Structure 1
Amino acid sequence: MNRTAPLLLAAAAGVVLAWRRGRHAAAPPTLGPDAVRALYDRAAPTYDLVAAAYALVGADRFHRRAVEALALRPGDTVVDLACGTGANLGRLARAVGPTGRVVGVDLSPEMLARARRRVGRGGWATVELVEGDVRQFAFPAPLGGVVSTYGLEFVPEHDAVVERAVAALAPGRRIVVGGLRRPARWPEWAVRLGALVNRPFGVTRASEGVRPWRSVFRHARQVAYEETLGGAVYLAVAAAPPAAPPAP
C-alpha cells in the first residue's frame, strides 16, 4: 500500500469535515433516489470547493483517465451518467469535437445548475444536460461511449442500467465506470477514515457491497481494470460485443 495515501486522505478530511460540521443531517446507511437528490441539492453550493480537496489524491488524473479510456472519436455521441457538476464534460466535449454530442444525466437539479454554468463558461455547445434518474434514462443509440464516475454506487439497480447502456453502444465501443471500493489492503482505521471523509457525499460502510464493475464485465467484454489510491478507487473499462456476422 502507498503509505502516503492515508495522510493525503487525512488532509482532505480536514476540509471535508469542516464542511460536514455545518450540516445537521447525517447521511442514512443507504440512500434512495429522493435522499440522494436531497443530499446533493444541499451539497451543490459547496460541492466543487469540497471536491477540490480530492486533487490531493489524484481526482483530476482519474477523470482524465476515464475519458481517455473511452477512446472517443470526433462526431461520437457519449453519455455521462450521474454527471454532477460536470467534471467530465469539458474533456468529453473536446474528445467528440464540434460534430459530436455529449449528454450529461443527473438526479439533482442543483448539481445540474452548476454543470450548466460550467458548460456556459467553457462554451461547449455540444453538451446537453438532462435532469433525471439514470434508472429511467432512455439511452440514444448507437452510442460512441458511456461513462460514469462516482455515480453508480448510489444506484442499487446499477446492473440493469449498465445492461441498457451496453445495449445502446455501437459494436466494439466502450463503457467506463469508476468510483470508490473497499480497499482490501488498507488497515481498518484507514477504511473508517475514508468512509468518514466521504460521508458528506452519501458514502457509508453500506456502500462496500456495491460493485458496479462486476456489472460492467458481466454485460460487456473486459478491456481493462485498474485501481489507484491503494485499491480505494477503481476504473473498469469494457467494450460492447462486436456486430454479429451476417447470416449466410
Structure 2
Amino acid sequence: MIDPHSRRPLTADTPHSVSDGERRWPVLDGIPYLRVGRGELVERALTALDDGRVRDAAAILLADNDDWWDQPPPPPQVLAEAYDAAADPRTTLRDAVTALGLGRVGDYFLHRDHDPSGLAVTALVATHPPAGRPVVDLACGAGHLLRRLVREPGETGGATGIDIVFAKLWLARRFVLPAEGGVDLVCADLRAPWPLAPDGDRWVCCHDTLYFLDDPGDVLHRAVELAGPGGAVLAGHCHNAEHPLGAAGHPLTTDEWAGLLPGALTYPEEELTDAALQGRRARPVVGTELERTEAVALAFDHVAALPQPALLDPSPGATLRPNPLYRDGVREWPNPRWAAEYGARAAVYLPETLPTDLSDDRAARRRVLVELPERW
C-alpha cells in the first residue's frame, strides 16, 4: 500500500494509523482512510484516535460520503452507537444500514446479490474469472462480490477492495465478508492516485460505478496498467446513454464505452442476467443488439481464463434462505426507486408468491433461495 500523494510505501506508525514517514492517515477496524481532499476530516479522526476516543473517530469517518449522496448523515452520537452495536452478534446488516442513514443505498446493499444487475455481475465474473490471480475490486461497496470470490477455493490470489465511502467498507468488514478475513479494504478515491502500484498480474474490476465519474476512461486506463500483462479488467453496468433507463449519471453510448477499453468483449446486461439464471456462459454481442441494452459490460483478459461455472452457484457449504424480498410469502420490493430500476426484470425470475414446488437447485438458480451474510 502506498501514499496517494507521495507514492511512498505506507507502514503502521501506531495501531490506529499509517504513514509514509511524513503524512499520517487514520485506520479504523483495519481499514485505512486514504481519501484525498479530506485533510480536515483526517486530522480530526487522527486526533480522536490518538486520544483514545475510538467512538468519536468512528462517528467522523462513518459520516463521510460520496459527492452524489444527497442525504445528511445521522448525528455523531447515533453513528457512535451504531459502531458500538456492531460488536453485538444480534446486530444485523439491516440494523446497521438503517443506523447509518443509508436509505436507498442501504436497500441496494441488502439485496445486491439477487437484483438483476447483481446477477449480471455474477455472470460476467463467472465467464471471465480471476483464476487464481490477485483481485482488486474498485468501488467495491459493501463487499458482496469479494465475499463470493474468496469463498470459492483457489479462485483468488488475495483480494483488495477500494471504495470512496468508509461506511460501505465498514459494513463489508463487520457484516458481509467472511469472519476468517482474507480481504484488504482501503478507503480511497478512484479519481485520485490509487494506493496500489502495478506489481505483477491482477484481476481488476469496477462495477456499477464508472457512469458516476467525469473521466471513466482514466479509471479504465489505470485499471489496465494495474492489471499487468497477464491480468484482466472487467467493468459491469455501464449506463447506455441511448436507453431510457440508462440516463443516470454520466452515461455514454455502448460504442463509446467499448472505445474506452480497446479489445474488450461487450455484453448487454440483459444477456448477462439471463446467463446467470440459466447457469451458462454469457455470450458477447456487438451491433444493434448491444445498442438496445440498458447497460453494457466490458471484459478484457490477457490470458482468456476459462469460465468458472461454480461462481454462478452459492458458495461451497452455503446455507440457503428464502429471498428476503418475500415478506410473509409475498414478493415486496424494498422501495419505489428499487422497483422502478429492478422490479420488471426481477419479476421474471421471482414469482409473486414464494413457491413451494421448486427443488433447492432450481430455487437457488431463480434466487428464490439465496445465500445471505450470516448477520443479514
Tell me the TM-score normalised to structure 1 length: 0.62
Is 1:58 aligned to 2:116, yes or no?
Answer: yes
Q: What residue in structure 1 maps to residue 184 of structure 2?
A: 128
Identity of matched residues, %: 22
Partner residue of 2:163 out of 106, 110, 125: 106
In structure 2, the residue matched to 1:158 is 216
Higher gyration radius (CA): 2
What's the counterpart of residue 296 of structure 2?
234
1:36 is matched with which residue?
68
Mapping of residues 71-220 of structure 1, within 5 Å: 71-74=129-132, 76-95=133-152, 97=154, 100-120=157-177, 122-135=178-191, 136-140=193-197, 141-182=199-240, 184=242, 191=244, 194=245, 205=247, 207-210=249-252, 214=256, 217-220=259-262
The answer to which structure has the higher helix fraction is 1
The aligned residue for residue 277 of structure 2 is none
Structure 1 position 206, deviation (Å): 5.8
CA distance in 2, matches of 1:174, 1:208: 24
Cα 1:46–1:96 shift into 2, 3 Å: farther
SS at structure 2 position matched to 1:209: coil
Deviation at 1:182, TM superposition (A): 3.3
Partner secondary structure for residue 92 of structure 1: helix
2:265 matches 1:223 = yes
Structure-2 change in CA distance of 1:59 and 1:170 (3 Å): same
CA spacing shift, 1:56–1:71, aligned 2, 3 Å: closer
* 1:24-68 deviations in Å (ceiling 9; x for gaps): xxxxxxxxx952367697763663434556777523322312322
Per the alignment, residue 67 of structure 1 pairs with: 125
Listed as ranges, the gaps of 5+ residues in structure 1 are 1-32, 196-204, 243-248
Task: Provide TM-score, normalisation by structure 2.
Answer: 0.43
Give the partner amino acid of 2:300.
A
Distance in 1 separating the partners of 2:259 and 2:110? 31
Q: Report if aligned partners of 1:145, 1:174 keep a CA contact under 8 Å in 2.
A: yes
Aligned residues of 2:204 and 2:226 also touching (Cα < 8 A): no
Letter of the 1:177 counterpart: A
User: Which of 1 and 2 has higher RCO (CA within 8 Å, sep 6+)?
Assistant: 1
